[in-house]
């Protein structure tokens, strides 16, 4: 295990020799969301002619020390030994049509999986998932199933949980592994949404819609004899897509709503959302939560995967730490003093900085899928696709070059010399024409650095990269001083080069901002909502608000840039809360405010 001292955790210094600036197998200490895998181009909407990638509803298991990640409609799954390097496995045997919100569990010496898009399925299995040789009994379960989850208890009993609806509850039923995993009895209704009391369960962007929310994506975790039934809500395409939890003493309940909900919630930042996930233990017995994060540009179900440290407080409270959740975090094999606090301390250096580009696409028609049999065609000007989108911390906006050859480049001026430690290059599908698992996809580029804008050094050489990396994350072998960073294109999969973020991480040489003052928190007449404001802090780039139901367990958070107010709409009507706020900038994170209790 790679060790990191307390001093290095605080200072965020980089040790050389742990990574490489050339493509290939990575020996990184960190990762950055969305995770860097070769997301599949969706094919079931191919009749519209609109091409986009998606990865959602991750079911991740640890089988014999290897992690296997099953993802919606990916035509296979991924395997990793470190949660950094992920290898795509193409099934060689019987497998469902692309899978849909798949379920996975370890049952003895084999892996069991379910998730056919039709809603009618058998449980399939293999003892060598790395080979993709699946077997099935062809015994289709005699119930309609959506968003299934499989759970194997300590006594070997197997349970199925399922539902994706804004009408029905989540159901559970025991399966019989001695009879082709067929149900033992009728499914039992377990939990339902209650948005009238639970603000975070309300539908829409920032919980702004009156439409009935969706309950979906169950996942079961057992910890110290307690059963934690996790679920997703209120809608996968929104920034507030989240996971909550009910607890019980039996796999089929009864279950009690956890007052500290939601557990996995990320409404702000570069990439938002943290719902319909799965919780898995790593090889060091630490918990991690994989979750769905929406982009929803080409289509409402255009999504990515996020990874967050998770666990349980001493009193059994479940948590998922999403604070700074799209900044670099330490991987499982990097030893830290507190698993809950895996943020590297490497700050975003590129936000709002001056960005220039060699070209911008002009007067191009772009298609978006808006319905099952329709495409919407919108026309946007070059301002809509300009280089400012590289640094605006919105994954839904992007710079589009007027082509995809080696003349295409973009430059970011950090405004001052800063210490650069990692870079994330996020590609976006713009008028793409790829469907399914196409062979030979690759992202080839160089990143150059300069302190004066005249003399340039190659910092990252991916010009011969043969991997498909739509969210290429590069942890530098050694930190470097730079003011200017330049992306130079060589080859990407589509006709137009499109980048939704040229994100540069490290630390500036100045001071972190001061603590926010004059904080005012007003619980609204609708107790699901609270209005929060504070005095702007000099030199602050942004703020993080933390809240929770106990003073020492402020496990929920939201990040925002360039504003000193927030409308929080995720509270429960019957619960009092504690709040703290901190400011941050390129140099680091300032000290948090004192906790404030609001009844």
The domains found in the chain, sorted by start residue, are: 33-326 (2.115.10.20), 354-507 (2.60.120.260), 520-598 (2.60.40.10)
Q: Per-residue pLDDT tens for 47-71? A: 888 999 999 999 999 999 999 999 9
Q: Per-residue pLDDT tens for 165-195? A: 999 999 999 999 999 999 999 999 999 999 9
Q: For residue 279, what are the contacts with CB-CB under 8 A and spacing of at least 6? A: 219, 221, 228, 230, 287, 288, 289, 290, 310
Please give, one letter per residue, the 3-state secondary structure of 436-491: ECCCCCCCEEEEEEECCCCCCEEEEECCCCCCCCCEEEEEEEEEEEEEEEEEEEEE
Lowest mean pLDDT among 129-143, 146-160, 288-302: 129-143
pLDDT on residue 17: 31
Measure the CA–CA gap between 466 and 597, rounded to whole angstroms: 53
Furthest-apart CA pair in the chain: how many Å?
A: 73
Q: Per-residue pLDDT tens for 441-495? A: 999 999 999 999 999 999 999 999 999 999 999 999 999 999 999 999 999 999 9
Average pLDDT over residues 96-123: 89
Burial class (CB in 10 A: 0-12, 13-18, 19+), 196: exposed
Measure the CA–CA gap between 586 and 549, rounded to whole angstroms: 31
Q: For residue 217, what are the contacts with CB-CB under 8 A and spacing of at least 6? A: 57, 101, 147, 149, 164, 230, 231, 232, 243, 275, 276, 277, 292
Closest CA to 427 of 20, 37, 50, 28: 37
pLDDT on residue 246: 99
List the end-to-end C-alpha distance of the chain, in Å, as a whole number.
44
Measure the CA–CA gap between 298 and 366, rounded to whole angstroms: 9
pLDDT on residue 83: 98
Q: For residue 24, what are the contacts with CB-CB under 8 A and spacing of at least 6? A: none
Residue with more model confidence, 575 or 118: 575
Average pLDDT over residues 578-592: 99
pLDDT on residue 92: 87
Measure the CA–CA gap between 253 and 170, rounded to whole angstroms: 12
Q: Per-residue pLDDT tens for 224-240? A: 999 999 999 999 999 99
Mean pLDDT: which of 13-17, 25-29, 111-115 is highest?
111-115
My answer on whether omega of the bond before 262 falls inside 30° of 0, hence cis, is yes
pLDDT at 15 over 70: no
Residue with more model confidence, 249 or 373: 249
pLDDT on residue 537: 99
Q: Per-residue pLDDT tens for 152-166? A: 999 999 999 999 999
Measure the CA–CA gap between 213 and 166, rounded to whole angstroms: 5
């Amino acid at each position: 295990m790679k060790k990191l001292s307390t001093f290095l955790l605080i200072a965020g210094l980089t040790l050389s020799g742990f990574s490489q600036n050339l493509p290939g197998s990575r020996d990184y200490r960190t990762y950055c969301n969305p995770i860097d895998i070769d997301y599949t181009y969706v094919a079931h909407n191919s009749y519209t002619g609109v091409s986009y990638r998606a990865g959602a509803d991750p079911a991740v298991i640890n089988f014999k020390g290897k992690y296997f990640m099953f993802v919606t409609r990916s035509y296979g799954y991924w395997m990793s030994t470190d949660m950094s390097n992920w290898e795509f496995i193409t099934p060689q045997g019987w497998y469902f049509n692309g899978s849909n919100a798949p379920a996975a569990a370890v049952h003895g010496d084999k892996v069991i999986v379910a998730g056919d898009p039709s809603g009618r399925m058998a449980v399939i299995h293999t003892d060598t998932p790395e080979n993709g040789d699946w077997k099935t009994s062809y015994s289709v379960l005699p119930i309609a199933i959506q968003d299934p989850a499989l759970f194997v208890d300590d006594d070997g009993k197997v349970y199925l949980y399922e539902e994706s609806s804004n009408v029905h509850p989540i159901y559970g039923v025991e399966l019989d592994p001695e009879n082709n995993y067929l149900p033992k009895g009728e499914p039992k209704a377990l939990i339902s949404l209650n948005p009238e009391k639970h603000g975070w369960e309300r539908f829409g962007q920032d919980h702004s819609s009156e439409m009935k929310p969706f309950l979906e994506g169950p996942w079961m975790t057992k910890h110290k004899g307690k059963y934690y039934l996790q679920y997703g809500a209120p809608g996968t395409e929104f920034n507030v897509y989240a996971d909550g939890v009910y607890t019980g003493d039996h796999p089929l309940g009864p279950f009690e709503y956890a007052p500290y909900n939601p557990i996995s919630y990320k409404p702000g930042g570069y990439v938002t959302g943290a719902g319909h996930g799965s919780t898995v233990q790593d090889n060091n017995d630490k918990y991690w939560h994989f979750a769905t994060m929406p982009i929803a540009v080409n289509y409402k179900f255009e999504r990515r995967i996020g990874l967050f440290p998770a666990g349980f407080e001493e009193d059994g409270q479940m948590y998922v730490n999403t604070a700074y959740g799209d900044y670099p975090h330490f991987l499982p094999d990097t030893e830290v003093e507190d698993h809950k606090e895996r943020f590297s301390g490497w700050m975003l250096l590129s936000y709002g900085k001056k960005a220039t580009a060699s070209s911008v696409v002009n007067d191009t028609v772009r298609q978006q899928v808006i319905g099952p049999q329709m495409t919407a065609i919108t026309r946007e000007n070059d301002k809509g696709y300009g280089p400012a989108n590289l640094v605006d911390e919105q994954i839904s906006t992007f710079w589009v070059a007027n082509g995809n050859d080696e003349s295409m480049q973009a430059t970011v001026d950090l405004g001052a010399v800063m210490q650069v430690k990692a870079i994330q290059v996020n590609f976006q599908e713009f008028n793409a024409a790829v469907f399914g698992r196409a062979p030979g996809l690759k992202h080839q580029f160089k990143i150059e650095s300069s302190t004066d804008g005249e003399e340039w050094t190659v910092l990252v050489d991916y010009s011969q990269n043969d991997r498909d990396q739509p969210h290429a994350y590069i942890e530098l072998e050694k930190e470097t001083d730079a003011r200017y960073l330049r992306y130079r294109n060589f080859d990407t999969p589509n006709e137009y080069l499109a980048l939704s973020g040229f994100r540069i991480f490290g630390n500036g040489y100045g001071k972190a901002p001061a603590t926010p003052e004059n904080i005012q928190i007003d619980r609204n007449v609708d107790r699901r909502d609270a209005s929060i404001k504070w005095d702007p802090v000099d030199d602050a780039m942004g703020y993080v608000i933390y809240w929770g139901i106990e003073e020492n367990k402020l496990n929920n958070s939201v990040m925002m840039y360039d504003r000193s107010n927030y409308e929080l709409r995720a509270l429960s009507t019957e619960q009092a809360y504690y709040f703290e706020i901190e400011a941050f900038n390129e140099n680091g994170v300032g000290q948090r405010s004192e906790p404030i209790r609001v009844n």
